[in-house]
Structure 1
């Protein structure tokens, strides 16, 4: 038997249906309509924090990885130092240093307080986005360092021998193959990035985790909001996995 009809998948589906039925008939869900609007807003913030931080972090990770793999020492050393600091310190510490450090410093600087950036910098979410972006870049910079070094040197030397410019070589040969090699790890790191987004609730950003905490504080209902939160995170994780599997099937054809 193949596909969904395999016995273990049928058993897992039956168990899931039984749990859904038990949850729907036994647990309290009368609070959901009152918090539906806030939950939708929190879910949206979680998603765009994840997407933006992963996209911006990957854009920063590419030069970080390239500098470590093939750059001169005066580029490789700062890139390696950045990745070491990011990977060696807790994300919560980085978040608090940026929010309570820079966030407390900026109001005392007149030219910042009087600039057009102040309406943005007075909110908490830019610091959360910056922290998540830098964290993703630090981890993925190391991943891409290994991916760049894993591309066969013969292909790069052949391209140089044919007179291919460096930017063209990077765009058409080196970067696509490095990304293809790094995709499985990038998918896993993106899932971990999703699991890191609840930390922004500690600096007053109302994401989906913060909404669940508010429900618990207002209604003293603990289990149901956390159960629904787990289902939401699992659903987003499933979409991430499917997306990266699709990318893994697309990128090799372009490389070839």
Structure 2
């Protein structure tokens, strides 16, 4: 007898949201409605006219710092990730120690070590022509965040590559394809699909974590916000900063969803 239930098409009926989902959605509706009411009721046109442009300049500093750090971290993460996967202890141990240190210590401590610690070696850095770099707070922030991001991106890349089934390598070798071509044309594209969402999450974390560079006199979005509050004592300055951060994160989230839908469209048919 034929099992009719085994060949039945999957149900496409959408599940109704439960009580917990309704309460959660209602909570956020109340939060955003309260925020919108507060901004409308306490609107300060003088504050907007005075700090609107500086806020945009601070936002540009934040975006440029995060993007530059992320790109530099992505470049550094490649040899680190391969070092983590290497069979040789000479390559594996230093890569492990790098990842262990930058993932195991707070970013703020790392920034202090670079910004204040490297000043102790000013004579040496000046002699090799690098003091111009480490005397600037923005470059110190870029250097530190790039190293921190490289540690996380190395683990993302390593995990994505190792998630590709070994059969992909074996199938390529059975066809006589070289190891480099197998990696670049077969393994890496599949790994990047797996790594897309973690990479986006890392970028979002960098955007939010970059606010701490304000403590070393980098006038990013949060640095401008602190300055505006110190001069006006208007709590609205922090609310507008939070709104701008939310806008940036939401744009990035939607771009990630779009990119993921594009690269996985062959899997959705």
Q: TM-score, normalised by structure 2?
A: 0.81
In structure 2, runs of 5+ residues without a counterpart are 1-13, 15-21
Worse overlay, 231-240 or 67-76: 67-76
Verify the 8 A CA contact 1:86 1:134 in the aligned structure 2. yes
Verify the 8 A CA contact 1:124 1:204 in the aligned structure 2. yes
Query: Which protein is bigger by CA-based radius of gyration?
Result: 2
Q: What is the deviation of 1:60?
A: 1.9
CA-to-aligned-CA distance 1:71-105 (integer Å, 9 cap, x gap): 53321221111111111111111111011111342
The answer for the alignment partner of 2:101 in structure 1 is 85
Partners of 2:54 and 2:42 in 1: CA distance: 24
Do residues 75 (structure 1) and 91 (structure 2) align? Answer: yes
Verify the 8 A CA contact 2:160 2:195 in the aligned structure 1. yes
User: Aligned ranges for residues 100-179 of structure 1 at < 5 Å?
Assistant: 100-107=116-123, 109-112=125-128, 115=129, 117-179=130-192
Verify the 8 A CA contact 2:133 2:140 in the aligned structure 1. no
Give the alignment partner of residue 227 of structure 2, picking from 208, 214, 231. Answer: 214
Q: What is the deviation of 1:151?
A: 0.6
SS in 2 for 1:31: helix
The answer for the alignment partner of 2:198 in structure 1 is 185
Task: Name the count of aligned residue pairs.
Answer: 247
Do residues 194 (structure 1) and 210 (structure 2) align? Answer: no
Partners of 2:207 and 2:87 in 1: CA distance: 31
Moved over 6 A (4+): 8-15
The answer for the alignment partner of 2:238 in structure 1 is 226
Residues 186, 165 of structure 1: alpha-carbon distance in 2 compared, 3 angstrom cutoff: same
Q: What is the deviation of 1:124?
A: 0.9
The answer for the alignment partner of 2:252 in structure 1 is 240
Q: TM-score, normalised by structure 1?
A: 0.85
RMSD across aligned C-alpha pairs, in angstroms?
Answer: 2.7
